[in-house]
């Protein structure tokens, strides 16, 4: 029931803007269906701007993208996860980031003897999520020397605090750790590229840029520095997703009467209420109950009562002309009252990444192809 519109020119604009800041090669992150914006359509739009490398999450995402971009460098950030992934990598041209000895040894066993596969190695430089320990670098050099069918292409890590200007020292420490690993590989004669910087680091931490940067949330218009002292660094980004929902009914709500499940909202005065066709079945979270706002033309309407499976009520007293068949924006809009993703995520009590990924699961249409 929700209408999700993706502005591909906004994504191209953001790519150009980030490229104007950073001289490194850019590897757009299009994992998780391009953060809900559509993997193939986004990747093709960025390829038209000159993007030659793309980061997906899974091997299957990479294979799906390979059908449309035959010559691009495609990197799987999680590498092989399922048993069948190892065989799928053969002749796929996908570079998998390997984060464990188990993955690495199994890949060496699984690939046909006549094949050579390029891989990346992911290091844990401070996030404690996925990756080899930096102290494993020497052993990894020995492994590559003993397994010539696996060819090192790139090393990477993930920044834990790049979007917090107060933690610049942590970013610097992670840069130094990955640089130290890189020197060990270079001394062993293993040529490779480095990748560390995410959206926030592209905007604010040039020391982290290295060979390849991986813009993610900023490509889609999310400012990683919203609410911080560096907010102005992302003000030129354009939000690419807008989401509309239909008005199904409009009726009076007398003073003192409650509305929706649990009657968690009681009208403090005589009100006019609009019932909107969206709810948690459309990934509009129940946590937005009595917290969020929707936009009708240039007026913001507060959500009242609990968000239901397919219905949400708003106070429409200030817009007497609203009627069934009209539409409201739950994300985006036109003009200065547009609902920004950082606002919706704050009402949602989550991050912009989750909002975009979830709302993007609804049917999408594209403009400015």
Quote the DSSP letter at residue 186.
H
How would residue 37 be classed by pLDDT, with cut points 50, 70 and 90? very high
Average pLDDT over residues 221-233: 97
Does 2 fall in a domain? no
Q: Which of 204, 230, 256 is the last residue of a domain?
A: 230
For residues 159 and 306, state if they share a domain: no
- Using an 8 Å Cβ cutoff, are 102 and 112 in contact? no
What pLDDT, on a 0 to 100 scale, did the predictor assign at position 114? 84
Same-domain status, 208 and 346: no
Whether 27 and 150 map to the same domain: the answer is yes
Q: How confident is the model at residue 45 (pLDDT cuts 50, 70, 90)?
A: very high
Same domain, 224 and 325: no
- Distances 132 to 57, 102, 104, 184, 285 between C-alpha atoms, Å: 18, 11, 11, 14, 36
**Mean pLDDT, range 165-187, rounded to an integer:** 97
3-state secondary structure of 54: strand
Q: What is the pTM of this model?
A: 0.96
Angle, CA of 27, 31 and 32, to the nearest 5°: 160
Please compute the mean of the pLDDT values over residues 249-271 and round it to a whole number: 98
Residue 295, domain extent? 241-367
Which one from 31, 153, 233, 242 is the annotated catalytic residue?
Answer: 31
* Radius of gyration for the alpha carbons in the chain, expressed in angstroms and rounded: 24
Q: What is the mean pLDDT of residues 324-332?
A: 98
User: Which range among 79-93, 184-198, 279-293 shows the weakest confidence by mean pLDDT?
Assistant: 79-93
- Which pLDDT score is estimated for 113? 84
Classify residue 3: in a domain, yes or no: no
Q: What is the pLDDT of residue 128?
A: 95
Per the CB < 8 A criterion, the answer to whether 261 and 305 are in contact is yes
Percent of the chain with pLDDT over 70: 100
- Is 343 inside any structural domain? yes
Is the same domain home to 136 and 268?
no
Q: Tens digit of pLDDT for each residue in 83-114?
A: 999 999 988 999 999 999 999 999 999 988 88
Q: What's the pLDDT score for residue 91? A: 86
Any catalytic annotation for residue 31? yes
Please say whether the beta carbons of 253 and 65 come within 8 A: no
Q: State whether 148 and 259 are in the same domain.
A: no
pLDDT bin (cut points 50, 70, 90) of residue 255 is: very high
Question: Taking CA 290 as the corner, what is the angle to CA 315 and CA 32, rounded to the nearest 5 degrees?
Answer: 110
- Looking at the structure, tell me whether residues 318 and 183 fall in a common domain: no
Residues 157 and 249 occupy one common structural domain: no
Of 230, 252, 278, the residue at which a domain comes to its end is: 230
Residue 174 and residue 134 share a domain? yes
The count of other CB atoms within 10 Å of the CB of residue 369 is: 11
| 279 found inside a domain | yes
For residue 62, give every residue at least 6 positions away whose Cβ sits within 8 Å of its Cβ, in sequence order, or none.
56, 74, 75, 76, 92, 94
What pLDDT does residue 336 have? 87
Same domain flag for 182 and 282: no
Of 211, 230, 249, the residue at which a domain comes to its end is 230
Q: How many domains does the chain have?
A: 2
Give me the pLDDT at residue 90, please: 87
Structure confidence by residue, pLDDT tens digits, 103-144: 999 999 998 888 899 999 999 999 999 999 999 999 999 999
Average pLDDT for residues 303-327, to the nearest whole number? 98
DSSP lists the bridge partners of residue 301 as 294
Sort strands 293-296 and 299-304 into parallel, antiparallel or unpaired. Answer: antiparallel
pLDDT of residue 208: 97
pLDDT in the model for residue 335: 83
Per the domain annotation, does 187 fall within a domain?
yes
- Share above pLDDT 90 across residues of the chain, in percent, rounded to a whole number: 96
pLDDT at 228: 96
pLDDT at 1 > cutoff 90:
no
DSSP-derived 3-state class of residue 270: coil
Q: Is residue 1 part of a domain?
A: no
Q: Is 23 within a domain?
A: yes
Inside any domain, residue 236: no
CA 282-265-344 angle, to 5 degrees, is: 40
CB of 273 closer than 8 Å to CB of 250: yes
Is residue 94 within 8 Å of 76, Cβ to Cβ?
Answer: yes
186 and 293 both lie in a single domain: no
Our CA angle for 90, 92, 95, nearest 5°, is 95
Alpha-carbon gap, residue 239 to 251, rounded angstroms: 33
146 and 261 assigned to the same domain: no
Is the pLDDT at 321 greater than 90, yes or no? yes
State the catalytic residue, choosing from 105, 255, 261, 361: 261
The CATH code of the domain that includes 346 is 2.40.37.10
Task: Give me the pLDDT at residue 117, please.
Answer: 94
Active site (annotated) includes residue 261: yes
Helices of type H across 147-219: 168-187, 199-204
Where helices occur in 22-58 by DSSP H, the ranges are 31-36, 39-47
């Amino acid at each position: 029931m929700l209408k999700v519109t993706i502005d591909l020119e906004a994504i191209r604009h953001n790519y150009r803007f980030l490229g104007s800041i950073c001289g490194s090669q850019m590897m757009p992150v299009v994992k998780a269906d391009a953060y809900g914006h559509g993997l193939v359509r986004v990747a093709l739009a960025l390829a038209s701007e000159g993007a030659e490398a793309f980061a997906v999450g899974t091997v299957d995402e990479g294979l799906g993208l390979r059908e449309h971009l035959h010559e691009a460098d495609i990197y799987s950030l999680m590498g092989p996860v399922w048993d069948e992934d190892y065989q799928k990598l053969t002749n796929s041209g996908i570079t998998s980031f390997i984060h464990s000895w188990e993955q690495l040894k199994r890949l060496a066993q699984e690939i046909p003897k006549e094949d050579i596969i390029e891989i990346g190695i992911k290091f844990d430089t401070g996030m404690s999520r996925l990756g080899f320990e930096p102290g494993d670098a020497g052993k990894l050099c020995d492994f590559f020397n003993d397994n010539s069918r696996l060819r090192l292409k790139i090393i990477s890590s993930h920044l834990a605090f790049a979007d917090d200007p107060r933690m610049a020292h942590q970013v610097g420490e992670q840069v130094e750790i990955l640089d130290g690993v890189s020197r060990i590989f270079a001394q062993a004669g293993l040529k490779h590229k480095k990748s560390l910087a995410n959206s926030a680091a592209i905007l604010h931490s040039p020391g982290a840029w290295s060979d390849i940067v991986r813009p993610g949330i900023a490509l889609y218009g999310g400012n990683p520095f919203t609410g911080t002292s560096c907010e102005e660094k992302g003000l030129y980004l354009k939000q690419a997703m807008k989401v509309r929902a239909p008005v199904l009914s409009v009726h009076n709500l007398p003073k003192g009467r409650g509305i929706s499940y649990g009657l968690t909202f009681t009208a403090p005065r005589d009100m006019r209420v609009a019932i909107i066709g969206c709810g948690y079945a459309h990934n509009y979270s129940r946590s937005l109950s009595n917290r969020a706002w929707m936009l009708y033309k240039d007026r913001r309407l507060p959500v009242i009562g609990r968000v239901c499976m397919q219905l949400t009520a708003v106070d429409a007293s200030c817009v007497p002309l609203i009627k069934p068949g009209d539409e409201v924006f739950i994300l985006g809009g036109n003009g200065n009252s547009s609902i920004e993703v950082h606002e919706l995520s704050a009402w949602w009590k989550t991050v912009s990444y989750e909002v975009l990924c979830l709302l993007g699961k609804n049917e999408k249409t594209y403009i400015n192809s």
